[in-house]
Amino acid sequence: MAKPKPSIPKGTRDFGPEQMVRRNYIFDTIRAVFGRYGYLPIETPAMENLSTLLGKYGEEGDKLLFKILNSGDFIEGVDPELFKPGNANAASLALCEKGLRYDLTVPFARFVVQYQNDIAFPFKRYQIQPVWRADRPQKGRYREFYQCDVDVIGSNSLLNEAELVLIINEVFENLNIRTLLKLNNRKILSGIAEIIGHADKLIDITIAIDKIEKIGIDAVNAELRERGIDDAAIQMLQPIIQLKGTNEQKLQVLKSTLGSSPVGLKGIEEMETLFHFISAWGNLSIQIELDLSLARGLNYYTGAIFEVKALDAEMGSICGGGRYDDLTGIFGLPNVSGVGVSFGADRIYDVMLQLNLFPESLVSTTRVLFANFGNAEVSYCMPIARKIRDAGISVEIYPDSAKVKKQFEYANKRKIKFMVIAGESEMQSQQLSIKNMETGQQVIIGYNEIENYIKSNL
């Protein structure tokens, strides 16, 4: 009987060598930047106690947690009433104590509280690990995906925000992605809500601001009216909706508009300090834009809000984050402020693929393949293969003395640049033939010259 073709669960992925080499390039680049800024790596277990995870992502989030069935006789002691259709939620809690992590933020908060006595604050950490969500799989949305989070916790200084901007700048500069960083501040948004007396309409206002370029001021005002905002408030909003110019000009307008809101002025001051710090660093390659329509994570962030878009590709945000004032309160350690951003590795990967930004050298790790014409020939090649390998160059010896054609096919399929051939005549003359598989050029050179030849022709 034929076995069924093996497959993997929907929404998950295998990564083959080519993808892995590219993904590692992204992770390594990000990791190196984090490291240079003094951020330290941590890792947390894939499984957390459900008590750690539940209630942290809203009701919808709870449903998206992957739960781990208890081991042993997990039915023993569970109320049989629970096993009736419709009781799935309650039953799952009786059957499962653990779940897969849903993001890296809650495990980080748990980590900080658990080890608070050992940690040197301000604690600068990064974490690059997969997370799991029982989301409906669709294009670009997976049930297992990596997050790359960088956060500093235990410091209110806006220098942290500034350094995150530098990190964002450096990561995308190193990856060669031209980007736009959108900045906003929750306190400015609160100030706007304060002066127009519509704290409940913050989302409506940001949506309207976002549409100004597309539909024009009259349509925006009509929409605001429809959304229940009164004429006096709409009047006050005009300079904000039509905000234009440089970041400095925008802040000037906001300063006069929000003059009567202490929280709004505080937000403007924070933004000015942040811009001051950024400019003190010198030129950055990233474009930075104050964008009041940026409302990402509004229930969560308390100060700066960040979002990064690639300039040359159609793609949602590839990085985002902000300042939060009470991350660890949920685990009993209140009043610890933090700020952080998360890089979206999958989207960055897609952007880089689309724009052909991966370095060509990533295609294959093996550079030199020694052909195999038998044990004597292989033994002849071994010392020099070892020498080239010791020089840090990736080398293979074809393991079987198969037909030459097959060995060449393997070299081509693996995109190996050099094929070294040693038959009887080469052995007698203490030489080696070397073929450049890209150009087709083949030369015969002395046994001890091959290392230098490869090094200077790689």
Residues between 87 and 116 with contacts to a copy of itself, criterion CB under 8 A? 87-88, 91-92, 95-98, 100, 110-111, 113-115
> What mask, x for binding a copy of itself by CB under 8 A, covers residues 2 to 21?
xxxxxxxx--xxxxxx--xx
DSSP 107: H
With a CB cutoff of 8 Å and minimum separation 6, the contacts of 427 are: 376, 377, 380
59 contacts a copy of itself (rule: CB under 8 A) = no
372 touching a copy of itself, by CB under 8 A: yes
Q: Under a CB-based contact definition with an 8 Å cutoff, are residues 417 and 458 in contact?
A: yes
> Which of 25, 30, 102, 124 contacts a copy of itself by CB under 8 A?
124
- Pick from 26, 29, 30, 66 the residue near a copy of itself by CB under 8 A: 66
Among 200, 226, 360, 400, binds a copy of itself (CB under 8 A): 400
Residue 370, SS3? strand
For Cα atoms 239, 245, 247, give the angle at the middle one, nearest 5 degrees. Answer: 95
Which of residues 200, 244, 282, 428 is near a copy of itself by CB under 8 A?
282
Rounded distance between C-alpha atoms, residue 259 and residue 256, angstroms: 5
Residue 160 Cβ, how far from a copy of itself at the closest point, in Å?
A: 5
Binding of residue 174 to a copy of itself (CB under 8 A): no
Position among 54, 155, 269, 326 found at the interface with a copy of itself (CB under 8 A): 155
**Token pair of 254, please?**
């906001």
The residues pairing with 418 across neighbouring beta strands, listed in sequence order, are 368, 436
Six token digits for residue 311: 């300039």
DSSP helix/strand/coil, 432: strand
CA-based end-to-end distance of the chain = 50
Q: Does 51 contact a copy of itself by CB under 8 A?
A: yes
Q: How far is the CB of 374 from a copy of itself (least distance, A)?
A: 11
Interface mask (CB under 8 A) for a copy of itself, residues 351-370, using x and -? --------------xx--x-
Using CA atoms, how far residue 131 sits from 11, 104, 137, 143, 233, in Å, is 12, 7, 14, 8, 43
Contact flag: residue 394 with a copy of itself (CB under 8 A): yes
The only residue of 55, 58, 74, 217 in contact with a copy of itself, by rule CB under 8 A:
74
Dist. CA 302–CA 21, nearest whole Å:
38
Query: Which of 54, 134, 263, 404: binder of a copy of itself (CB under 8 A)?
Result: 134
Question: Which residue in 54, 68, 298, 437 binds a copy of itself (CB under 8 A)?
Answer: 68
Q: Which is nearer to a copy of itself, 386 or 455 (CB)?
A: 386
Cβ pair 454, 368 in contact under 8 A:
yes
Beta bridge partners of 397: 370
- Which 373-392 positions form the footprint of a copy of itself (CB under 8 A)? 375, 378-379, 382-383, 386, 389, 392
